[in-house]
Structure 1
C-alpha cells in the first residue's frame, strides 16, 4: 500500500507565467501548493472543508473515478471492496459491520471491478497493472497475480465452466480458469470494451464510450448488437439550438445482470447544434448536454429509461433483491460547484434510489425519473453501491475510504460506517474535475476517466469539434481547444467550467491544483504488437522527412502545439498522438472512424497537406498504423 503525503496550502498560489517546452512554444503551468507537511486528519473523520482558500494536493495524484468496486458474497456474509486510490482490497463482515481483512497491493495497481466465484475466491481487476488479483476470501490472503492484457476493465465469472472473462480496453476478451492458471483464450471482440456480464448461458460485453451491448457466441463472435435508444430533446434543453438532433446513447459506466437480462447505467449526449456561449445547460433533470439514464435489455428488447433526476456523473448501479429498486452512485453530487458556492458540501445525495419501472421505461415524451436518498452517513463521494439481501443500501466512498451501511432500524437516521483505511486521498484538482457544475455536468461527464467520450459536438458558429483527451500531459499542449483560442489553462477553466458549464469562479490556487492533477494523468498503456518488424518499418516512415509526420507531431507530447491548416479548411491545433490507439474516431470532426481511415485521401483527412502519404503503398500504410498504435 502506498504511503501518501498530502499538503495544505493556506495561502492561494498563483499561476506561473509560463514554462518552456523543450520541443515547442512556451506554455502556461499552474502553480502547485508546496508539499511540506502531512495531513493530521484521517480515519473516519470527515475530510477537510474546501473553502476556496485552502488547497489540498496529494503527493501522488489519485486516479480518475471509474466506479463499480464493490461485491457481495452470494450468502451475503462479506463485502469485498477494491480501493483504486489506496491500492488495497478490503473484506468487510456484513453482520457486524467491521473490517475483517485488508490486502495490500503494489503501488499503482489501481484495483477496480470485483467478482466472486463459487469456491469463495475473489478476483479483482488491476486496471493499471494489466492483471487480475486472486484472493482467498476465507483467509484474506492474496493467492496470485495473473497478467491478462494491457488495460483490463471488466470481469465476470461463469459457473457453468468455472471460468473468468476479462474485458480489455484494447478490445480483447480474455478467458481463464477461476481456479488459477494461464489464459485459455484471447479473442478480439471490439475496441473499447468495458464490462462483461454473464446472463444465463449468454455472455455480453459493453463498449465504454459508445454504450453498445454485444452478445457473444461460444467462439466470442458478436451475434447481436444493442444500444439504448435515442430520445427527443423537447422539454429537456434550456439552451438555444440552431439545428435539430436527439440525445444519443453515450458513455456506459456500468453493466450488470438484472435477472431478466442486462442492465446498463449510461449517459446520453446532445447531438443537436447549439450555441456554446449560452452555456451547456441549466442543470436539473436532463437539462444539460449530458444526462444519466438506465436501460435494460430483456428478451432482446432494449428498454431505455428517461433521465435520472439529481444524478450528475452516475458511475455505478445496483438492483435490489426484489427487483423493484435501483441505486446509483453519483460522486459529482458530493462536490457542488455552482451559483457562486465555493464550499464543498458533503451530502448523501451522491447515492440515489429509484423505482426500477420508472427508471428503465421511457415514454414517448421524456420525463424526469425522481429518486430518494437512502439513510447513509452524510459524508464522502460514493464510487460504488449495492443492495444487501435484506434490501438495505451499501455504498463505498472515497476520500476518506469507507463503506456506509443503511441503518437496519427504520427509526435510525444513518447506519454503521466502516473505515477502510487511515489515509485520506482528497485532492483539490481531482475534486474539481469530478465536481457537479451549475449546468448539470462535470468535466468527467465528457472526459470519462480523464479521456474522451468519442463524441463530435456541434457548436454553432464554430463547427463540429471532437472531444479531446486529457491524458498524457495536458499543459504541454497549450494553447487549448482545436482552434487554439484559449491561450492559457486559466482561460480554459474560466471559459469552459465557469462560462459554459455554469460552475463557480475559480481562485488562482484552485486553477493551479486543477491543472497539476490533470497534467499528471498518464496515457493508457498501449498493447504490444507482436510484429516488431512491422512497427519498426512504421517508425521509420513516421520520422521520414518526406512523409513529414514528425514535423508537427514532435517532442515528448508528440505535438508542436502549433495551429495549422492541414487541408481541412481551417487552422487547428496539432493534437498529441499519445494513446492515439484508444481515441477513435479521428480528426477534429471525427470523420475518420479508424486510424487507417485517417490515411484515406480526401477532404476529411486533408490529403498530402496532412503529411505526405499518397505515395505510400497499402502495406506501408499498415506499417505506419501499426507504429501509431504503439504511441
Structure 2
C-alpha cells in the first residue's frame, strides 16, 4: 500500500445517521477503547445480518475486504484520505453506509465471526469493530502495536493474527480470539503486506525497500526472522569493447556479430514490495509483485540516474517463492535479453495490491501510476513474462479483492475515490468495467492542486518526468526513500527521504545545488531525460511534495536517557547542533568537506542534511556507506562531530535521542 496524502486532509471525526446510498453509518457512542483482555470478543452472538468472513483471500488483510450479510455480498473499503470505511452492496453496486475508522486505515481483515480488524497507521493500533442489527458498526477495542501498523494476516487455524508495522519495522502477533498481544519481533525497514504459510508455521513479509522478503517463525520461541533475497539480474549480450567514461559501450567491430562474446549477468536490486498473494494451482507458492532496479556502477560517473546500458532502469517483476524451501525460483528474478518490453505507460512499476482468483488461478495486480489491473499466469515460474489481460481503472488503484461469486475483481482507486467492478469473464467478449464513486465527508474540501500533484508524483510512464518510465514514487515510495545508491554524473547518490524533510531545509540535493524545490525538480527531470512539466503542473507537484504526510514519530519511554542524549547533541564537545541546528531539524545550509569523497565524486563538499526521521532512513551518507546509525556516529568521529570522549551509556543516549528527531 502507499500513502502520500497531505497534512490537513485527515480524519474529521463527524458521524451522522445511517441511511441508504451514500449516507454515513453510525459508529457506537464515543467511549475510550476497552482495556480488558476479553473486550475484543463479540459482545453478542452474530445476528442474522452480521458479516461472515469470506474466504477468498486466504485470511489476508487488504484495503478491500469481502463478506456476506445474510444473502447479500458486501465489500468493505478502507479510505485512507477520509479516515473512514465504506460498506458497498456488491450485487447492486450501491454504497450502503460509511463509518469512521478512528484514524488512518491501512488494511482490514474480517474474522470468521464477523468482527472487522483494522490497522490504523497514524495511531499505532489495530481496532476491532462488531456489526450489529441495522447495519451499524460498534467499536469493541483497540490493541497497541509498533508504529504505523499496515498489513494483516491470520493463521489457517484462526489462532493468530499477525500485524506488520511499516515505520516501526516489526511484526506483532495477536491472539485470534480476544486479540491480546502474544509477542513482537523486529524486522528490516518498511514491512508491508504479510501472508501466513499454508501450514501456519511461517509468516512471509514483503518490504517496500531492501531487496529481500522476511520469514518469521510463528511456532518456535524465540520467533526467528530469516531473509529471502529477491535481487534479480539481467541476461544480456556482452560486448567485446570496454565501457568508456561517458557510459556508452563503443562497438569497435565492423559487424554486430563480431562485437559480442557470449552473455553477461547484471545485478538488479528489488523494491516496491507492497503486495503478496498465494497461488492456488499449484499450491505452496508465494507470489511477490515487485520492481527490479539497475542502479548503475557507482564507481563510475553516469550520464543520468542509474543504468548506462540504454535499457530501462526499472522493470516489473513477480518473484515466486517456494514455501517448502523458502527459495525463489531463479527464473522469476531474471530479466531476459529477449524480454518483450511494453510501452512505458503500460509497465507495472508501482504494484500496490495482489490477489489470486480461486476459479482461474490467475494472479491479479493493481498498478499505481499506470492505473491498470493486470492478470498474470500464476502457475508460471516467470509470471512477469506471462501477462494474460489488463484493464484500465480509475486513478490510484490501491486495493483489490476477487469476488468469486460474481467472478469480478473489485479495485479501490483511492485518487479518484472510485470502486471499480471488473468482469473476469470471457476474454473474447470483455464486459465493460463498472465504476462507483464513493461518498466523501461533506466537511472535507478537495484541494485540486494537491490532487494533481499526487497524480504527477505517482505518474509512471510520463516521459515529461523520466524517459524510461520511472515515477517520483519509484525512488520515493510513500514519499520516503528506496535505500538505493544510484550512479549519477556527480558520483554515487543515495535517494533522500522527502516526506516531512523539505520545509526549511534549502538548499536541496546532496551538494546544495537546488535553491528551491522547483529548480531542484527541474534539474532532476533533466537527469532522468524528462521533458519537464508545465508551470501549473510543476507548482502542483511542489505543493504535494512539500506537504506529504510524514511517518508517525516513534517515542522512547526512557525520558532520562533522551534528556541526556539531547544535552550531548547540543553540547560544544559533540558539536552536532553546530551544523544540524536545534533538534537536528534546521541545518545550516552550508557545504562541508567531512572527508567522505568517493572515487567517482566530482566534489568532496556536501550540503548539511536535515536529521528529521533519521532513525528510520538507513543507510546513511550520500553514498549509503553506513548501514546503521551507530556506525555513522562512531566512524565519523572527529570529521563530523565528536563522540570518542563519550562513555558507552552516553553514546547510547545520543543515539536514542537522534532516533527520535
Q: TM-score, normalised by structure 1?
A: 0.77
1:529 aligns with 2:551: no
Pick aligned residue for 1:514 from 541, 547, 557: 541
1:343 match: none
1:210 match: 210
Pick aligned residue for 1:177 from 172, 175, 183: 175
Asked whether the 8 Å contact 1:478–1:488 carries over to 2, the reply is yes
CA deviations on 1:156-203 (whole Å, 9 max, x unpaired) are: 122425332211132222222344454232333444332321123123
Asked whether the 8 Å contact 1:483–1:573 carries over to 2, the reply is yes
Structure 2 CA distance for aligned equivalents of residues 263 and 452 of structure 1: 24
Deviates most, 241-250 or 316-325: 241-250
CA deviations on 1:555-614 (whole Å, 9 max, x unpaired) are: 57342222111231311111111111110111111111111111233xxx3x31200222
SS at match of 1:380: coil
Describe the shift of the 1:443–1:383 C-alpha distance in structure 2 as closer, same or farther (beyond 3 A). same
Structure 1 residue runs of 5 or longer lacking an equivalent are: 7-42, 44-66, 335-349
1:596 aligns with 2:630: yes
Structure 1 CA distance for aligned equivalents of residues 82 and 375 of structure 2: 28
Describe the shift of the 1:186–1:3 C-alpha distance in structure 2 as closer, same or farther (beyond 3 A). closer
Asked whether the 8 Å contact 2:211–2:231 carries over to 1, the reply is no
Structure 1 CA distance for aligned equivalents of residues 6 and 215 of structure 2: 42
Describe the shift of the 1:305–1:372 C-alpha distance in structure 2 as closer, same or farther (beyond 3 A). farther
Structure 1 CA distance for aligned equivalents of residues 486 and 423 of structure 2: 44
By relative contact order (CA 8 Å, sep 6+), the higher-ranking structure is 1
SS at match of 2:454: helix
1:453 aligns with 2:482: yes
Map residues 387-402 of structure 1 onto 2, 5 A cutoff.
387-389=402-404, 391-402=407-418
Greater C-alpha radius of gyration: 2
Between the two proteins, the alignment pairs up a number of residues equal to 539
Describe the shift of the 1:509–1:3 C-alpha distance in structure 2 as closer, same or farther (beyond 3 A). closer
Structure 2 CA distance for aligned equivalents of residues 220 and 212 of structure 1: 21
2:373 match: 351
2:438 match: 420
Q: CA deviation at 1:3?
A: 14
Asked whether the 8 Å contact 1:244–1:272 carries over to 2, the reply is no
Map residues 481-520 of structure 1 onto 2, 5 A cutoff.
481-497=509-525, 499-520=526-547
1:316 aligns with 2:353: yes
Structure 2 CA distance for aligned equivalents of residues 74 and 233 of structure 1: 48
Structure 2 CA distance for aligned equivalents of residues 323 and 580 of structure 1: 45
1:155 match: 152
CA deviations on 1:308-361 (whole Å, 9 max, x unpaired) are: 852131212221214632222112114xxxxxxxxxxxxxxx222222245x42
Q: CA deviation at 1:275?
A: 5.8
Describe the shift of the 1:317–1:161 C-alpha distance in structure 2 as closer, same or farther (beyond 3 A). closer
Structure 2 CA distance for aligned equivalents of residues 320 and 212 of structure 1: 26
2:258 match: none
1:545 aligns with 2:572: yes
Q: CA deviation at 1:208?
A: 2.9
Structure 2 CA distance for aligned equivalents of residues 96 and 295 of structure 1: 37
2:644 match: 614
Output the aligned Cα RMSD: 3.4
Deviates most, 146-155 or 119-128: 146-155
Structure 1 CA distance for aligned equivalents of residues 181 and 208 of structure 2: 23
1:127 aligns with 2:121: yes
Map residues 103-122 of structure 1 onto 2, 5 A cutoff.
103-106=99-102, 109-122=103-116
Asked whether the 8 Å contact 1:560–1:574 carries over to 2, the reply is yes
Deviates most, 218-227 or 487-496: 218-227
Deviates most, 156-165 or 567-576: 156-165
1:563 aligns with 2:591: yes
SS at match of 2:215: strand
SS at match of 1:471: coil
Pick aligned residue for 1:478 from 506, 517, 524: 506
Asked whether the 8 Å contact 1:403–1:419 carries over to 2, the reply is yes
SS at match of 1:187: strand
2:44 match: none
Pick aligned residue for 2:76 from 58, 64, 80: 80
Structure 2 CA distance for aligned equivalents of residues 555 and 68 of structure 1: 41
Q: CA deviation at 1:249?
A: 1.9
SS at match of 1:615: coil
Q: CA deviation at 1:293?
A: 1.3
2:58 match: none
Asked whether the 8 Å contact 1:210–1:454 carries over to 2, the reply is yes
Q: CA deviation at 1:282?
A: 11
Asked whether the 8 Å contact 1:166–1:173 carries over to 2, the reply is yes
Structure 2 CA distance for aligned equivalents of residues 255 and 228 of structure 1: 13
Describe the shift of the 1:296–1:133 C-alpha distance in structure 2 as closer, same or farther (beyond 3 A). same
Structure 1 CA distance for aligned equivalents of residues 180 and 248 of structure 2: 54
Structure 1 CA distance for aligned equivalents of residues 118 and 313 of structure 2: 34
Structure 2 CA distance for aligned equivalents of residues 194 and 421 of structure 1: 27
SS at match of 1:113: strand
Q: TM-score, normalised by structure 2?
A: 0.74
2:390 match: 373
Structure 1 CA distance for aligned equivalents of residues 612 and 77 of structure 2: 32
Q: CA deviation at 1:408?
A: 6.9
Asked whether the 8 Å contact 1:102–1:140 carries over to 2, the reply is no
Asked whether the 8 Å contact 1:241–1:275 carries over to 2, the reply is no
1:290 aligns with 2:287: no
Structure 1 CA distance for aligned equivalents of residues 295 and 530 of structure 2: 23
Map residues 2-401 of structure 1 onto 2, 5 A cutoff.
69-73=63-67, 77-106=73-102, 109-137=103-131, 139-143=135-139, 144-169=141-166, 170-180=168-178, 182-199=180-197, 200-204=199-203, 205-217=205-217, 218=219, 219=221, 221-222=223-224, 224-232=226-234, 234=236, 240=247, 245-258=266-279, 259-273=283-297, 276-278=302-304, 287-298=311-322, 299-300=324-325, 301-303=327-329, 304-305=332-333, 309=342, 310-322=347-359, 324-334=361-371, 350-358=372-380, 360-361=381-382, 368-374=385-391, 379-389=394-404, 391-401=407-417
CA deviations on 1:8-34 (whole Å, 9 max, x unpaired) are: xxxxxxxxxxxxxxxxxxxxxxxxxxx
Structure 1 CA distance for aligned equivalents of residues 554 and 183 of structure 2: 17
Describe the shift of the 1:306–1:151 C-alpha distance in structure 2 as closer, same or farther (beyond 3 A). same
Structure 2 CA distance for aligned equivalents of residues 408 and 352 of structure 1: 11
Asked whether the 8 Å contact 1:253–1:314 carries over to 2, the reply is yes
